[in-house]
Chains A and B, each alone.
Chain A
């Protein structure tokens, strides 16, 4: 479960203090498929970064499975990210010198996974995201959609409890975006992993069961569909 309590984040640009989050309170249960929506500058990426321990809040707390992340040391945060959180970035952020297989392998190396199990897990997740035949390709030999699939496989391979995806479809055409969202939805159902997206794309919101809308750093709407694909 992810919970934020009175979360504030201020950026200082020059001498001006710019508030990106102004007291965000929300609770996301295990296995949810949730979109954090809002126009650009509403604070959604900041919120995701703070949840993922990539950034620190100015005030307030984030609880991940009951652990208050603001009390963790940098090493403990690394460990939390290593074990519990998978990231999918808008720009994919694959390591350019490594193949699809090797990119997906990194999280498992960090977890000291036993070699045979590692090999099987990587192959099966790459097949699951539809890249069974591309395992030896480097990022520059793949399309945007394929790269994002690798990124999703990399986020999911360690079986995290939470996947945070920052505008995962923003660099993709609508057909590919739909495929990727469908894939993530499927994986959410199959692995019961919590998915949290930031997006301003209506398509993503259509796919998600719950949409939390942010505006000027505050939650303005929290809508759960009664029945939907998510």
Chain B
């Protein structure tokens, strides 16, 4: 206890140096927390965008469709979805099912023509799986055949407003060009670049007619009650729908994006490592100075009968106190900056806005705080400060007391 008291006194005998070291630790740690909050937020936003607009939790395809998805093969679609939907509905844990038809198309406003992803949705059922209905910023959600929803960016690019006419052109199942005139019923802003910039959403019946696929759909999108139990649900579904169909989770459907995410994590780790090294060098420097100038004092303590472990313990306490102090500051500061990220966010539009990036989110990143990370970072700060103290102090205790006393 007394050792701790002496250590406490020693820490505050050079207030300025202690503050500088604590500041070095806290800057490093708050940078780590900030990075983590931002990356978590980005991942969460991307995941939400995928689940809420693109895939739902799980998707069912006709076997072979997904492998060829880029080519939109209209021959390997789910020709008769009703019996399959019936089977799926009998699996417990399913909240809602929405059929969709995706196809390649282009839209024209009479002057310009742009390639888009066409998507036919079931006007009622889609609302129960996806959030498109809640992202309409102008006009209204799809009401009937002949309506089209487009994203805010596309509307800007094509100079379209609510009530504007556009023509959608695509090739049907037989390879014949087909076109419909549509009215823009609403403009959506989802935060998902694909939906906001490259998508034309129409009713599923109209899409089926346009593509001449009868009642066929390209996929059945499923929302689960509990998104943490998807693995089990996927297995149950797969056995229910049989070999002619395949079930894929939203993560599997976006593996490429999560590889990007993995890369980000590595980058984040590297940045954290650099920050740590810088902070650790600062701490080592301070602790080294603190130990070196006190070697005669170590000699005195030895003369009084302190053994090496007592002296090492005292310095560990000192490192620990500085560590706790710096870590507290760092975590507090990191937390405050994270709060800013959560409630205000960081807008990267100016930097990345014009880049065509596959990551399914826009560049206003809102943070997501992980309290465990803050705890780990806190403990890590203390560990580093204690660890870097050990080396100089162990070296100092190896001296004969007389050499320590004489040390200048």
Contacts and interface: CB of A to CB of B under 8 A. Distances in A.
Interface in B291-325: 296-297, 299-308, 310
A228 to B, nearest CB: 30
Interface stretch (B158-166, B170-178, B398-406): B398-406
B2 interface: yes
Interface in A46-90: 49, 52-56, 74-75, 78-79, 81-83, 87, 89
B167 to A, nearest CB: 84
Contacts of A217: none
B229 interface: no
| Central interface residue in A56, A78, A110, by most chain B CB within 10 Å | A78
Contacts, number: 66
A14 interface: no
Contacts of A89: 300, 303, 405
Nearest to A84: B305
A111 to B, nearest CB: 8
A96 B13 contact: yes
Contacts of A142: none
A17 interface: no
A109 interface: yes
Interface in A88-130: 89, 93, 95-98, 105-107, 109-110
Contacts of B400: 54-56
A110 B10 contact: no
Interface string B240-255: 0000000000000000
B304 A97 contact: no
Contacts of A54: 299, 302-303, 400-402, 405
A55 B9 contact: no
Contacts of A79: 305, 307
B304 A110 contact: yes
Q: How many interface residues does chain B have, given as a range?
A: 20 to 34
A109 B10 CA distance: 18
B300 A97 contact: no
Contact of B303 (A75, A87, A97, A98): A87
B12 to A, nearest CB: 8
Interface in B62-78: none
Contacts of B336: none
Contacts of A154: 304
Contacts of B307: 74-75, 78-79
B6 A78 contact: no
Interface of B: 2, 6, 9-10, 13, 296-297, 299-308, 310, 400-402, 405
23 contacts: A49-B402, A53-B401, A54-B302, A54-B303, A54-B400, A54-B405, A74-B307, A74-B308, A75-B307, A78-B302, A81-B302, A81-B303, A82-B304, A89-B300, A93-B303, A93-B405, A95-B6, A97-B6, A98-B6, A106-B2, A106-B304, A109-B2, A110-B310
